[in-house]
Structure 1
């Protein structure tokens, strides 16, 4: 082929590769968005199955989400429950800020949570425990901050086999809802 045709052919090939690449990025972003929406719907379905009697006892429930990342799903659940920022708590190993939830500090292993004992009515953890190294301490701390009669909802998958016995147990559970009095 003459050099000019080679240049044209090369530029067309590069342009087509670029368009294909940007299309793949758009598809991945759309898939991430759809996955977040699906997760949010599942979470709201789980949360709506909780009796509203805890809301009647305390006037307003308090909600805490373990490893909430940017807090968007946590804020959506809190809004669904009719809570304001002072009653919605979230934590992650990275410091976060949101005008919709109150971020709290936790240590790297999630085993020390800076909330008062017996202060939270609803705790959720969605697909986060496989990131936590000290599962037993974390669960103990969660029960420490959970009010009597409160709810702890764990949902987990893909726990590594080299983790503790508790992590191996969680890997077989699709979803667990634990009430504090039933140990």
Structure 2
């Protein structure tokens, strides 16, 4: 019976262990520093979200793919920037994300991050980590300044719940549990027959 249960657990583990290895959403909160400008002043708060997929591209020797966007929300305006640059430096324990330079630049850096080699960190690895952010605006052809801001401190929001597992994760979990419980039931029936004889 033990071997059946072990097989069921092993069927579950790879998916559960890798459940947070793909689509990641990192919520954070921050506050502008003394260099706030335009619509903002020092102490103004922001909330943000970084969305990415944990993909390692061996062909580019450790450059990451799959980063989707950084969004910022303030009491005055919101902005979403496509992420073109994402990196995790394991030696320096720093994860960084930057928006496209042809648009308002948003840079977010997290410090003291312990993560896996070759992969961007998971939400669990970034919870309660502190860092910095910076933004810079640009002026449209019509003379409109887009997303004024500045720089400041931020922290990953530890109050946020982890993302709900993918449907495939639930399916593998159910399959593994079914295998384990089925094996246990079979073992009980077999034992009952032996005891009756």
Task: Give the TM-score, by structure 1 length.
Answer: 0.30
Q: Which has the higher contact order (CA 8 A, sep 6+)?
A: 2
Larger radius of gyration: 2
